[in-house]
Structure 1
């Protein structure tokens, strides 16, 4: 009997000590990012007895079955999925906001309106040098604002591509680390402290990856993970101890595409997908801006060459270039603005050609096109912002749900410290009682 009590008490002290150690570890790492709360898993300890029937099992205390991580794989998957969607929306909104600022703050719309106003003023006195100089300067300002808008959009594109390339490097680094963790998990003992630490590291790396690209995971029995990007049918990023290399290519219009191990990879979520979507939007905006600039160049130059300037000479193109980036003022003097019809003499007050120029501008309506462009960008920003806020709320809810399960509650851990300490003391007391009983038996005469 005394030996049975000693066995039971000894197993109890071991279990209580292990639980105290795990509780202390939980408290120490309460604020550590990626740490998942641990608990000790206990099982009945059975022994065979020669005094019982063959095959009979006598319970002799408890044994430590392992260290358990209190994390639900489904909730972790939801955190990765919702976080990836939120990261995509956030990156896209940031890119669109930069695009909006690049176009709106350069004042292309205002420059178009001001130039049209200067032509209207010139109608009052086509021979007035100051009015001609004002119209010429407004044309110069118009060309320069188009140039500034184009260079600003180029800067936004360069920034997005730089960030995307940096994110690609981060994905490759994280994937390589995850492959090393897979190798170590294959060598780690089941339910050991080393294995649980590796599983924490694995989950942190997966969450980091999901912030950049959409991933699909398949877990092996030893805890190692296979990672695919672009959905469950996408190319493999991490498989066992090997990791493929993600690469980015830049197309002629500035948009980006991705390959993984040489195979095309399509991303639907994650920050990289958001930057790719922003660059696609940027390419569309740049195309529209170039179309507006080309329309202004064609309209004004067509009207110019159809008339005569203040000296009676045939009108020359007002603007050079073919797009927003290279549009420039071609005339050197306000007297070269062709306000009169072709064949008119010097200092003609006939404004027929100027009227035709203004009519052509009104028909082309570059101001309206620019206003539509700005409205489209602003609408896209507003709509994507609503989507981003909703996705961030969903991701936040998923994180809270996981934290409630996997996070460390200091009040609960303090209670566990007291409970396990009492269990340790109780087991020690049982050992003392068993010793006293054995001594009493030996003392019987």
Structure 2
């Protein structure tokens, strides 16, 4: 839920001036202004600036998505370290409890301490407790893998220093680490039958390997759509088939076979950017125009506006039910992220409510009912008072008899 909230916030809402949707709107607005005054150098520069800003926003969001994955991978490593440390402590307590039980000592406090440690393990990896001789316990995942069987087993995971768009787990075939216990693969979402399916670590794996990559793919698909709108020679007659248009994939044209990570590589074509040695008048005359055209010509600018406003099919990764124009694509991906956030938050709230109800039920079973204990104390006090009165009466009767 936290990760999907971050993902949604990176995209922003339609009213947010820094949102991806607003950057699309800014570019379209700059193009419309230029179409009215094609010979205006400041308006040509504004198109360049807003286009660069849009590309930079794609880059920033894509980088932020991978940071969320990096944070999740790091958090997995931290939780694995904590689980291994706690399992060792439970092993030690097991030994102390076993020896204390054999000696007839009261080990209740030690058992309570052990239970708190078991609860810590449960937060990261759900376990079942198997009671053994002398009050000792073993811990096993619901899928049947022992984390503690007499001695603590080591949970193994290798965190990455940085997670990039090209890094994946891929069932163990990729560069990102899975999760194992003494060679047994328990990776959430992995290919093995022993994979864990709940707990914080499973949630973090879902963030790293499923939820965020899915949104990253949607962002790459949106970037692919943006590049494709300006690469058509029908929009820009100065281009040959296969030439990059107003936006490029790190200088090259878009390639559907090289979609992964495109949002992090999208940039403004250097040919129209004076800061990169390009010519600003090409925003009016065409990306590969060899010489300035008529100062009042607006054909290319209006063709670019049409390219942004025309609806067209999108890549499947964008998960659109139909054709979209450029701005609708930006709005759709924001709605996609918002829906994922709402779904994750709903699941989190339901899980929290269930956990709280189970906690209350556990307290009723194992905790002290102070009201009931007070009632019992009053009854005992009354019985004690009655017994005292009987003793006093008997004592008085014996003394009377002695006097007689």
Shift of 1:193: 4.7
Shift of 1:161: 2.2
Aligned to 1:352: 299
Aligned to 2:113: 201
Shift of 1:232: 3.5
Shift of 1:410: 4.4
Query: How far apart in 1 are the matches of 2:267 and 2:132?
Result: 63
Instruction: Pick one of 296, 302, 322 that aligns with 2:226.
Output: 296
Deviations 1:156-199 (A, max 9, x none): 22222222221111111111111222222332326955432232
SS state at 1:269 partner: coil
SS state at 2:197 partner: coil
Query: How far apart in 2 are the matches of 1:117 and 1:302?
Result: 21
The structure whose Rg is larger is 1
Deviations 1:102-152 (A, max 9, x none): 222751111012112222222223222222111111111111211221222
Deviations 1:345-381 (A, max 9, x none): 6325343333333333334533222222111111122
Aligned to 2:206: 277
Deviations 1:42-61 (A, max 9, x none): xxxxxxxxxxxxxxxxxxxx
CA distance 1:334–1:316, change in 2 (3 Å): farther
8 Å contact kept, 1:249–1:258 = no
8 Å contact kept, 1:307–1:339 = no
8 Å contact kept, 1:217–1:226 = yes
Query: How far apart in 2 are the matches of 1:109 and 1:195?
Result: 63
Residue 326 (str. 1) matches residue 326 (str. 2) = no
Instruction: Pick one of 153, 172, 193 that aligns with 2:84.
Output: 172
Aligned to 1:259: 180
8 Å contact kept, 2:235–2:303 = no
Worse-superposed segment, 185-194 or 129-138: 185-194
Residue 241 (str. 1) matches residue 151 (str. 2) = yes
CA distance 1:208–1:419, change in 2 (3 Å): farther
CA distance 1:420–1:257, change in 2 (3 Å): farther
Query: How far apart in 1 are the matches of 2:244 and 2:350?
Result: 56
Worse-superposed segment, 178-187 or 398-407: 178-187
Query: How far apart in 1 are the matches of 2:375 and 2:201?
Result: 45
8 Å contact kept, 1:214–1:269 = yes
CA distance 1:352–1:344, change in 2 (3 Å): farther
Worse-superposed segment, 241-250 or 212-221: 241-250
**Greater relative contact order structure (CA < 8 Å, 6+ sep):** 1
Deviations 1:266-287 (A, max 9, x none): 2211111112222221111112
8 Å contact kept, 1:245–1:261 = yes
Aligned to 2:173: none
Instruction: Pick one of 102, 105, 118 that aligns with 2:30.
Output: 118
Aligned to 2:347: 387
8 Å contact kept, 1:308–1:344 = no
Query: How far apart in 2 are the matches of 1:216 and 1:248?
Result: 25
Aligned residues: 329
CA distance 1:187–1:419, change in 2 (3 Å): farther
Query: How far apart in 1 are the matches of 2:100 and 2:352?
Result: 36
Instruction: Pick one of 205, 213, 216 that aligns with 1:286.
Output: 216
Specify every segment of 5 or more residues in structure 1 that has no aligned partner in the other structure, as ranges. Answer: 1-92, 310-314, 428-445
Aligned to 1:53: none
CA distance 1:334–1:407, change in 2 (3 Å): same
Specify every segment of 5 or more residues in structure 2 that has no aligned partner in the other structure, as ranges. Answer: 170-175, 187-194, 251-261, 313-324, 388-404
Aligned to 1:163: 75
When the two structures are superposed, what TM-score results if normalisation uses the length of structure 1? 0.65
Superposed CA RMSD in Å reads 3.5
When the two structures are superposed, what TM-score results if normalisation uses the length of structure 2? 0.71
Query: How far apart in 2 are the matches of 1:367 and 1:241?
Result: 59
Worse-superposed segment, 260-269 or 365-374: 365-374
Query: How far apart in 2 are the matches of 1:378 and 1:212?
Result: 27
Structure in which a larger fraction of residues adopt strand = 1
